[in-house]
Chains A and B, each alone.
With several copies, the nearest count.
Chain A
């Protein structure tokens, strides 16, 4: 079998719409990219070094490509990929704001990037300073007393928070079994509840899109460990009854967990701690603009009120008494009743450093502006689009608005998916579709604060044009039309699973 040409570029949309061969198809026996340092270490054969019982018979087949073809392949793949840097990305609930490049530069500093996580505190004071100062900033922002930076993403933060909840109740000699979540909650919430060893009790949303207080009261009892909320909620609405909710939950001895995915809307306006939350996770890869990397890495620090601090994961970076020179000193400390480690080391350190840089550039004033502009943008879109789309709950929203194609669907047979795909042809990444689940044909739009009025106008025009097409019966199921691949067959992918190149060849 001959290999595919590594220098042909018909797979980049600039030149054509071919598929890009895989790394494996580009491979040819004997090609090599690697170059390793000359060490002068004495040669020894594999046989001398690896006992026969363990030795592998053949090399692990990877691929054999020249550096030139390696570069061609992955550069071409990048041209087949949309990203924030290319344009607006109004993906609801994901807060796809511009990621400042300065954070990349900070994360690339050798003094940070080349630091070994197992080095003693005396040799890593700079990193400890970053972690401690970030923890302090996050506590100030969320209105909490202490935090752990270990969780690697939001969901990890959720599970960590639920284990804190569990430890808290256990310490009180209680064994509660249920955690309440609203029906509008993100999927990670119920999934985390299960992994936390709790049962999910779902409360419905009321006509205003908020937690139905009556329904909540009905399910509250001494078996309730706590409730998980995001506020603003996934409908982009602020839970106005949050004080009552907090009161009611606390009354039965439950704790309030805050899913910080939507914190962007309220930075500097209101703090989860002041709303009565006991445990808060923050998505640094959303609110604090750390790049999402096509699916990760993220960071989901968890901040708690004073009474829960002693349960936090450890070891924790802490300030020590100033050194001889009076300068700050930092070290590690494990809380008295710590639930233990939740990460192999100290958390996603470079993501944490990026977030601190973002926070330091914005400061108290800048973060407030972020929230104001985010909410302004979302409301402007809501108002503009309320005439052409159903708005799930048409009242002032926070950082995002949930539209619905329900009417378009009924009247014109056009789905939220059709609208989303058609928007691609208009030059925009689609919004989040079919979430939250309680909204029929949901189109969840989060413009974020870094998009300009002109971009919002163009986005609104695109949305309206698509709606108009639908009404005129001109909107088909063919879009997107320009992308290197058209609509993909998801059913087939699941039916005939091909999850590796080798599985394909076996076909």
Chain B
């Protein structure tokens, strides 16, 4: 009977006696007999750890993808995570503690999160960042909620260049508050804001992806100008690695930055746990969703950290809270702080640069294959780009897996039937999104190109 319980038979006897009970079952006297489960749970008996580990090793082997050279991205990137970051983030003090409710015994997590907030704020080019949200998609939802609250207008214009999954999540959660989400279509990888107006109702919020889900760097100045004209809050869904090379959302004039922090030291892990990044301008601080760590002093005047502006949060404000988030992704925020500390000022830029070099080299080579066309126009790309293959993308991915490569993400799988306003079903079916991180060597890229060349011809 494997478990982690310390109770010996004697312990149980003594403790029951102390309670004046004669059986463990009596502990549940307040549970109506009629409701009691008879026959126990419909689960197997417990198995010792080594058996369970063996099962998981088998399941792990059944994930062929983990062994492939990864050119897939679409919001989840295969960046370098060094041993030093894994070992520090794995310290059990960070891993097995709860939310820092008692500051005196939680300065470790509190200070690490304070440093994380500082780093996110610097990347965002905005003064305030919170202690994390679930993932990029949930950060987007919170950003839109903040924007609607701030503008007082429930109409939201979202560029179709924002990650399709994030847009889907936004649609799901817009139902409650009753936001009216208008999707602004792409054309050749650029958002066509012009048409949007017809949708009726002045928007309170504009959302732009930077880069967008096809890897294109659109012009945030255009969105900013539009937002100014409409008196709307500008939310930029930005990639923290790209910001190593390009202007920050703050520099572009965004009011809110939301983002996915997976690229900052978090493993691919089949999509989670990831890390929602959230930053905003000073004026919105009291609408900030989620936890915030602030600096203060202790009774001896020593510098100390504590969660602050708690009055925004659900446990105090309850139904009037700015958000319902409680548990967030602190451990991954701490991991990101460590990873950023490892990268440092030069490393973040270097990673972004190497990604861009690899992507450029890879894209040029792939476009050399006949039948392979760019899916986007002149809009510049950095780490990721979209192609139109002469063959269905899912077939190509299947063939390249056999050659040892995860060639990318098939667009139709990614956008499902929601599209992005420019992709017809046929283009989606032949669309492949390819990402190249700093970990990809020239040999791997050449190998991919050769294999893809073969695959589209056979």
Report how far A66 CA is from B344 CA in the complex, Å.
Answer: 9
B413 lies within 8 A of chain A by Cβ: yes
Q: B215-227 toward A: CB 8 Å interface, digit per residue (1/0)?
A: 0010101000000
Distance in Å from the Cβ of A420 to the closest Cβ of chain B? 7
Bits for A19-36, please: 1 = Cβ < 8 Å to B, else 0.
110111001111111111
Contact with A along B1-14 (1 / 0, CB 8 A): 11111111111101
On whether the beta carbons of A342 and B102 are closer than 8 Å, the reply is no
| A204 on interface, CB distance cutoff 8 Å | no
Chain A 147-188 interface mask (CB, 8 Å, partner B; 1/0) = 000001111101100110010000000000000000000111
Identify A158's interface contact among B6, B273, B324, CB under 8 A: B324
Chain A residue, CB-CB nearest to B130: A499
Interface string of B367-400 (1 = CB under 8 A from A): 0000000000000101000000000001001100
Known: A42-B357, A115-B268, A269-B36. A501 touches B114 (CB 8 A): yes
A308 vs chain B, min Cβ distance (A): 15
| Shortest CB distance B228–A (Å) | 18
Give the contacting residue for A154; candidates B132, B327, B343; CB below 8 A: B327
Chain B positions within 8 Å of A298 at CB level? 327
| Contact A77 to B112, CB < 8 A, known contacts A30-B9, A451-B6, A499-B308 | yes
B172 within 8 A of A: yes
With A159-B173, A240-B32 known as contacts, the answer to whether A295 contacts B327 (CB < 8 A) is yes
Flag whether A219 is at the interface (Cβ < 8 A): no
Q: Is B441 an interface residue (CB 8 A)?
A: yes
Bound CA span A341–B401, Å: 28
Hey, what's the 0/1 contact readout for A254-290 against B, CB within 8 Å counting as 1?
Answer: 0000000000001111110011000000010100000
Give the size range of A's interface with the partner. 35 or more
CB distance from B3 to the nearest CB of A (A): 4
Tell me which of A368-376, A400-408, A465-473 binds B. Answer: A368-376
**A–B pairs, 21, beta carbons within 8 Å:** A19-B304, A23-B115, A27-B344, A31-B6, A43-B357, A59-B348, A84-B96, A86-B93, A111-B67, A112-B60, A119-B72, A141-B41, A188-B314, A266-B31, A294-B106, A294-B331, A366-B46, A429-B105, A488-B297, A488-B298, A501-B114
B309 to chain A, nearest CB (A): 6
B299 at the A interface (CB under 8 A): yes
User: Is A383 part of the binding interface, using a Cβ–Cβ cutoff of 8 Å?
Assistant: yes
- Inter-chain CA distance A124–B409, complex, in Å, is 14
Nearest CB of A to B405, in Å:
11
Q: In the complex, what residue of chain A is closest to B330 when comparing beta carbons?
A: A295
Within 8 A of A (CB), among B38-85: 40-68, 70, 72-76, 78, 80, 82-84
Q: Are B37 and A60 in contact (CB under 8 A)?
A: no
Task: Identify the interface centre among B57, B136, B311: most chain A CB within 10 Å of its CB.
Answer: B57
Are A489 and B2 neighbours in the complex by a CB distance under 8 Å? no
State the CA gap A81–B406 with chains docked (Å): 41
Q: Which residues of A contact B274 (CB under 8 A)?
A: 344-345
Chain B 414-457: CB-based contact to A (< 8 A → 1; otherwise 0): 10000000000000000000000011111101000000000000
Q: Are B324 and A159 in contact (CB under 8 A)?
A: yes
Also in contact, A37 and B315, with CB within 8 A (given A85-B93, A340-B172): no
Given A295-B98, A367-B41, A370-B5, check contact A120 B394 (CB 8 Å).
yes
As a 0/1 sequence over residues 249 to 260 of chain B, the CB contacts with chain A under 8 angstroms (1 = contact) are: 001000000001
Segment 113-150 of B: residues with Cβ below 8 Å from A: 113-115, 117-119, 121-123, 127-129, 131-132, 134-138, 145
How far apart are the CA atoms of A486 and B301 in the complex, in Å? 9
Tell whether, in the assembled complex, residue B59 and residue A197 are in contact, meaning their CB atoms are under 8 Å apart. Answer: no
A43-74 CB mask vs B (1 if < 8 Å, else 0) is 11010111101111001111111111111011
Most A CB contacts (10 A, CB to CB) among B52, B105, B251 go to B105
Looking at the assembled complex, report how far the CB atom of B395 sits from the nearest CB atom of chain A, in whole angstroms: 11
- Do residues A37 and B51 form an inter-chain contact, with CB atoms below 8 A? yes
> C-beta contact mask, A332-345 vs B, less than 8 Å → 1, else 0?
00000001111111
A51–B340 Cα gap in the complex (Å)?
25
Chain B interface size, under 10 / 10 to 19 / 20 to 34 / 35 or more: 35 or more
| Complexed CA–CA distance, A163 and B57 (Å) | 37
Judge whether A484 and B107 touch: CB under 8 Å: yes
Judged by a CB distance under 8 angstroms, whether A125 is at the interface is: yes
* Assembly CA distance A38 to B443 (angstroms): 11
B100 within 8 A of partner (CB): yes
The residue from A33, A119, A156 contacting B341, defined by CB atoms under 8 A apart: A33
Residue of A nearest to B88 (CB): A74
- Complex contact B332–A297 (CB within 8 A): yes
C-alpha spacing A187/B317, complex, angstroms: 8
> Judging by beta carbons under 8 Å apart, are A497 and B309 in contact?
yes
Given known pairs A188-B314, A351-B272, A429-B102, the reply for A37 and B341 (CB within 8 Å) is no
**Given A37-B51, A187-B318, A269-B36, A238 contacting B30 (CB threshold 8 A):** yes
A297-B6 CB under 8 A given contacts A35-B49, A49-B245, A396-B30:
no
Separation in Å of the A194 CB from the closest CB of chain B?
A: 5
Task: Give Cα A274–Cα B32 distance, bound, in whole angstroms.
Answer: 11
A70–B7 contact, CB under 8 A? Answer: no
Contact A480 B92, CB 8 Å, known A35-B49, A64-B344: no
Q: Which of B29, B105, B304 contacts A480 (CB 8 A)?
A: B105
Q: Which A residues touch B445, using CB under 8 A?
A: 41
